[in-house]
Structure 1
Amino acid sequence: MDWFYKQPVKIIFGIDKVKDLYNILKDLNYKNGLLVCGPSFAENGAAEKILDYSKGLITKIFSNIVPNPTVDNVDNCADVIRKNNIGFVLALGGGSPIDCAKAAASLCKTEDSIVLYHNQEKKFGKEHIPLIAVPTTSGTGSEVTAVSVLTNPHIGRKAPLASENFYPEYAIVDPTLTLTVPKQITASTGLDVLSHALEGFWSKDHQPICDALALHAASLVFKYLEKAYINGEDIEAREKMSEASLIAGLAFGLPKTTGSHACSFPLTNIYKLPHGEACAFTLDYFTRINAEAEDGRVNDFAKQLGFKDANDMADRIKELKFSMNMKVSLQDAGIRDEEVETLAELSIHPNLLNNPVKMEKKDLIEMFRSFK
């Protein structure tokens, strides 16, 4: 078996580590930074705290970002970077601010719109400004990946964009930043972590280091996600879910995601399911289907986690979705039976090619119609 592993992001993990921000920036000789965050952080004082921790090394805030960041968000952010001669970017938040900042930190070195890159008409060169990622949810793992998932609302397209430039210089993972995350976001982002771990493991491009990381991350999710959901102030559960999110990001970053993520894009674009909830919608089904692959890897994975087999693990995933009030049926998601065929067509995304079991349109239709 031939394989390759790379992880250039320097990771700082621990309680209250964000308070060391000034020393980190000073050691890096970073100046005139831009804080990229969601509007809620600009409104609730969290952004000002980050500016205080930077002791003047971050000078501006960009918060014009929506969930599932758009190409317009990236274009606007890059414009702010250009006009203010910004030296580095710090992204604070979930996947949306981090993904926006990743793309903007490279786009700012051009005069282009990100649309040209999102449409794969152009590829980035090596020039970019440095990025520090500070996640506030236990979900995307975007702080350690080279992928930015963007939406072009003008043509209804949500798709990942990858570049070596997108690896942050540093990831500062401070579990205290997740203590105020609402219950349903905790659930959705936590199930995204589980999707990353499982899909990274069973991806056709799986490899030993990422396999080990996937196993570790999944074990933490099964043990701590429901605890974090029930009691958001449980610092042990929050810390373990932050660890799971980071480790799962490492687990899928190179193998890439598979069927559940492919199907998640239209579920988010059309039916507005949050990303993690959209991934989880099909995750237990793909667990059962992928366990049918001849090598038996998925069953072995489940057994190492203490389950009888992959079907038992899939049952637990379904239980988690019910217990945390996730959407589990077509009716829950607002999908009419006559829309299933189109949904299946839109789910035929390149990520689907990574799935160990081949899924064609008819298979996807059968899958979606099973969610009664």
Structure 2
Amino acid sequence: MLGADFYMPTRVFFGENALQRGKEMLLKAGHHAFIVTGKSSAKKCGALDEVTTLLQEGGIPFTVFDGVTENPPLLTCFEAGAKAAACGADFVIGIGGGSPLDAAKAIAAFAANQGMAPMDIYDDAKRLCPTLPLFAIPTTAGTGSEVNPYSVLTLEGGMKKKTFKAPDSWPRAAFVDPRYAYTLPHGATVSCALDAFAHALESYLSPKSTVFSQTAAVFAAREIWDVLSAMPGEFDVEMRTRLALAATVAGMAISVTGTGFPHPLGYSLTLLDGVPHGRACAAFAADYITYNEKSDEGRALIAAFAAAIGTKPNVMKAFLPGVAEVDFSFTEAEIAERIELVAGAGNYQNSPYVISKEEMYAIYRAHFLKK
């Protein structure tokens, strides 16, 4: 029987004008806000202006750090943490997609623990002080970072990712307003939705799954499947609202279970080849289904998952990689470079069927080996 434990300390405000409904939490959080964003998306979608207006009206000073890039580097977060501490910030607001939200978690930890070296963030014994209170405002519908404690950072050299997680790295509150994703281009919307679907699928199959995580995974996947399988030329307000809710709920699912092997296999395509994260994960969705069908447990779970969202395993196998549109040709040496980069990740253990390194190579060769 599945377990039924569940813990999620993040207060979620969902829907249009979510920030206004939850503003008291933000205005009582501290005396100086450190706002973490990327270069333009938070401004373009209106979220940054709404936050700064709210803080100004509440008489709370703030500092904006807009230096977060895709796949945020650990060193960027370390330096931003020093800036947050120097300006006297006592709470952090992350605005953006997964990169700014993940970066905000690390920045909140560094700001509270001045004197740590960058890699010390991964050592519980060296993080002596709780992270600064953190609030998350997603402007995409994909990562679910607003409702989980994970911060995926790129290490020095840019060729490896490592996840930071702490009991206090959960956002205190998430303000999920679908309006902020209205300006997201079609291709980016699809990629984010594929990321959220991967979270739901991989969480459902995880040995760590519970009644609550599986319920969340099915809800999220069904919403995303309904929208993506229609493959609209444009996403209307209802579709974007469904995707925003689904991404947040899928984030709740992986907060319990973590993710499976499409995530690390996809990291190589993102880091080395610039493939957007959601598309990189979806490129290996069919492989994830096929290999897990090798076990009785995996086969049963996949059948149940597919039925619950109104489709069949073979349909998912055909549809998801097709939507991902990832097409490369690699030599054996290039494949080896990509596998060795991610072969040590723990995600490979998080499925009914645990693939070997030889099977990782087989998957990459089947997709990408230069003919």
Q: Is the 8 A contact 1:135 1:143 kept in 2?
A: yes
Q: Is the 8 A contact 1:227 1:237 kept in 2?
A: no
Match of residue 365 from structure 1: 361
Match of residue 39 from structure 2: 39
Q: Is the 8 A contact 2:284 2:321 kept in 1?
A: no
Q: Secondary structure at the match of 2:95?
A: strand
CA distance in 2, matches of 1:307, 1:43: 39
CA distance in 1, matches of 2:278, 2:204: 18
Q: Is the 8 A contact 1:35 1:91 kept in 2?
A: yes
Q: Is the 8 A contact 1:51 1:58 kept in 2?
A: no
Output aligned runs, 1:18-167, within 5 Å: 18-20=19-21, 22-26=23-27, 28-41=28-41, 44=44, 46-54=47-55, 55=57, 56-110=59-113, 111-118=115-122, 120=123, 124-125=127-128, 127-154=130-157, 156-167=159-170
Deviates more, 1:178-187 or 1:168-177: 178-187
CA distance in 2, matches of 1:278, 1:134: 24
The answer to whether 1:252 aligns with 2:254 is yes
Q: Secondary structure at the match of 1:171?
A: strand
Name the amino acid aligned to 1:330. F
Q: Deviations over 1:65-119 (max 9, x none)?
A: 110111122112211111111121111000111111111112212221332224x
The answer to whether 1:336 aligns with 2:338 is no
Q: Is the 8 A contact 1:74 1:104 kept in 2?
A: yes
- Amino-acid identity (%): 27
The answer to whether 1:230 aligns with 2:233 is yes
Name the amino acid aligned to 2:308. Q
- Once the two structures are TM-superposed, the CA of residue 312 in structure 1 deviates from its matched residue by 2.3
- Once the two structures are TM-superposed, the CA of residue 121 in structure 1 deviates from its matched residue by 8.2
Residue in structure 2 matching 1:269, options 245, 264, 271: 271
Q: Deviations over 1:159-213 (max 9, x none)?
A: 2111111100000100000000112211111110011000111112111110111
CA distance in 1, matches of 2:356, 2:216: 30
Supply the RMSD in Å over aligned alpha carbons: 2.1
Name the amino acid aligned to 2:328. L
Q: Is the 8 A contact 1:288 1:311 kept in 2?
A: no
Q: Deviations over 1:223-266 (max 9, x none)?
A: 1236686214x110010000010000011112110110121222
Q: Which structure has more RCO (C-alpha within 8 Å, separation ≥ 6)?
A: 2
Name the amino acid aligned to 1:189. C
Residue in structure 2 matching 1:303, options 304, 307, 327: 307
Match of residue 218 from structure 1: 221
Return 5+ residue gaps in structure 1 as ranges: none
- Once the two structures are TM-superposed, the CA of residue 222 in structure 1 deviates from its matched residue by 0.6
Size of the aligned set, in residue pairs, is 360
Q: Secondary structure at the match of 2:208?
A: coil
Output aligned runs, 1:7-18, within 5 Å: 7-18=8-19
Match of residue 346 from structure 2: 350
